[in-house]
Chains A and B, each alone.
Chain A
């Protein structure tokens, strides 16, 4: 699905990612954890195509495409989805209308007919139910006046509407109470198939009780320094990151 090799990226001259490599296959869920400032959100931003970040080295292959060479919209159309850590409020832009435009532009690119209004509305109904997003919210301006939980549910709703191949959830759980977290996780799990994959970036092991990962990676100083299974997340929750950092320093010393 995606193959990240030796990725180096910097912002305003400061290198954040320092040789990150990661391979995600269809049907897999990968969790990325790590202390503050380790580069978790930078990874999400670079993959989604935020242009403040400069990639200085490395490569990313996404379904046979050179991802780093693509515009953000082309990445989305190719099947990449980023659930934002901080979803943007866009007054005056209807959630539904913009999704319809997004879906139809993607279809047009693939040489398909625009989606019939009836089918579109049916999908809206089905998917908003999945994340318990109030029908009224779906019709309102994008994220305007939404609570934190509603914003995150809206992200998963949009993900469901766009049916991506690879979803990157950037700290989707931060700030959510347990009910909202369950709803979001339920949505993500329902969308899981053998053909798609997710990268779940999180600070807290709690999310991984609900979205069970196949692999857990620890990101530190811009590189993946440890990889394990879901048990690693529990160990991190219990012992923190210091033991890993200590191990690393001993190795390099």
Chain B
């Protein structure tokens, strides 16, 4: 029996990996090829997670891994409005860099380019590439082995980015599998904001397996706003591997607006002294969407502070998963760690699995975690209606209010507008 299962699993994995057989990585640099070979070696020992894998307990990956995918180089004509409020944008199509659609006017001290361009010239990349990715996470390792391209950003010491830098990942065909790979290094005292947006042009049945490595050096400030808005029948697994040096601030805001199955693995494996970390997420779900936010935060040094706020609005037959873990090391005294997950379940058929976790080994810390799940407040709804708001408006007002503390965390005005508009449009909002 066990042998049979093993063979079956191997077949699923092999069949999935066979999609990448035809990829040509001859363009690649030696250090990157080494990373690919190491990853391919690792894959042999790894399997796709099953219902017995604790880390993946609430998310079945069968639908994702059994897709009949293709690796597709970009088409020329893109029928989508790519206008973004910035002078710097890396556009990726199906995991490939689009030279035509990307544009750059980086300020002095900021390198912003495709990953493959950076591989040729960046010493920072050469030194740190693939240094953060977990070796036992099969999807991240697959990305290391088979990524085509991605975005690269390097902010030099003390440089303050004057505007947000955009990374747009576009899926432009049906049944496309892609492994976009991003690398961001923010040097000491620097400050930058990035918007990472994943979209698709059509219903696609595609799978985007994205990995971003982010290094925030001493006293640096970095914010990333992630907007996941691919087609309704698409799949996405996004992994962010983050490390924060002393006195640095890192903020990530994750907005999951669309996609059939979306899984976010957010790992902040190393935090220096006196760090500030914000992890925020909003998932307004519809239809049969399944969205799984996994976060892991390791306070390794003293005086760190982390604030985690994830909010879900679950409609129709959607499913939300929140599993956030904060680990406070023995050495990490005076840590303040706050974790909160709140959900509104709008229907009888929507589901939420919420699991906030604290594991604390230091004795002088302030930590809290909490999870709430409920319906829209009926009393508040009646109060608003009794003052003349329609039922629809009253609902929208309450949903907006619920989401507002996450939306308020967004440091990029255009993103804030976009998310507010999304909520207004989708919950019959009012101005």
Contacts and interface: CB of A to CB of B under 8 A. Distances in A.
Interface of A: 48-50, 71-73, 75-77, 82, 84, 87-88, 90-93, 98-99, 101-103, 105-106, 141-142, 158, 162
B379 interface: yes
Given A91-B401, A92-B401, A93-B401, A72 B393 contact: no
B373 interface: no
A49 B390 CA distance: 13
Contact of B391 (A73, A88, A101, A102): A73
Given A90-B401, A92-B405, A84 B383 contact: yes
A71 B386 CA distance: 9
Contacts of B405: 92
A88 B383 contact: yes
B409 interface: no
Contact of B389 (A48, A49, A98, A141): A98
A98 B395 CA distance: 12
Contacts of A72: 382, 385-386
Nearest first, the 3 A-B pairs at minimum CB distance are A92-B401, A76-B388, A102-B388
Given A71-B391, A88-B379, A101-B430, A48 B386 contact: yes
A91 B387 CA distance: 17
A162 B389 CA distance: 12
A37 B397 CA distance: 34
B424 to A, nearest CB: 12
A93 B398 contact: yes
A102 B387 contact: yes
Nearest to B429: A101
A84 B387 CA distance: 11
Contacts of B377: 88, 90
B360 interface: no
Contact of B380 (A48, A90, A162): A90
24 contacts: A49-B385, A73-B394, A76-B388, A84-B383, A84-B386, A88-B380, A90-B384, A90-B401, A92-B400, A92-B404, A92-B405, A98-B387, A98-B389, A99-B387, A101-B397, A102-B384, A102-B388, A102-B389, A105-B388, A105-B389, A105-B390, A142-B383, A158-B387, A162-B387
Contacts of B382: 50, 72, 88
Contacts of A103: 388
Contacts of A87: 383
Contact of A90 (B383, B385, B386, B391): B383
Interface of B: 377, 379-380, 382-391, 393-394, 397-398, 400-402, 404-405, 430
B397 A98 contact: yes
A98 B431 CA distance: 10
A4 B402 CA distance: 39
Contacts of B387: 76, 98-99, 102, 158, 162
A92 B401 CA distance: 4
Contacts of A102: 384, 387-389
Contacts of A76: 385-388
Contacts of A105: 388-390, 393, 430
A76 B385 CA distance: 8
Nearest to A93: B401
Give the one of A77, A91, A99, A158 with max B CB within 10 A: A91
Contacts of A84: 383, 386
Contacts of B394: 73
Contacts of A77: 388
A72 B401 CA distance: 21
Given A90-B398, A101-B397, A105-B393, 16 more contacts: A49-B386, A71-B391, A72-B382, A76-B385, A77-B388, A84-B383, A84-B386, A90-B401, A92-B404, A93-B380, A99-B387, A101-B389, A102-B384, A102-B387, A102-B389, A106-B388
Contacts of B404: 92
A98 B390 contact: no
B410 to A, nearest CB: 16
Contacts of B430: 101, 105
Give the one of B383, B385, B393, B430 with max A CB within 10 A: B383
Nearest to A84: B383
Give the one of B379, B389, B393 with max A CB within 10 A: B389
A98 B387 CA distance: 9
A77 B400 CA distance: 23
A45 B401 CA distance: 26
A105 B385 CA distance: 11
Contacts of B386: 48-49, 72-73, 75-76, 82, 84
Contacts of A90: 377, 380, 383-384, 398, 401
Give the one of B382, B386, B398, B430 with max A CB within 10 A: B386
A102 B384 CA distance: 8
A91 B342 CA distance: 14
A92 B393 CA distance: 15
B431 to A, nearest CB: 8
A133 to B, nearest CB: 16
Contacts of B402: 92
Nearest to A90: B380
Contacts of A162: 387-388
B342 to A, nearest CB: 11
Give the one of B385, B393, B405 with max A CB within 10 A: B385
A49 B405 CA distance: 32
Nearest to B403: A92
B309 to A, nearest CB: 13
A90 to B, nearest CB: 5
Contacts of A93: 380, 384, 397-398, 400-401
A110 to B, nearest CB: 11
A142 to B, nearest CB: 8
Nearest to B431: A101
Contacts of B393: 101, 105
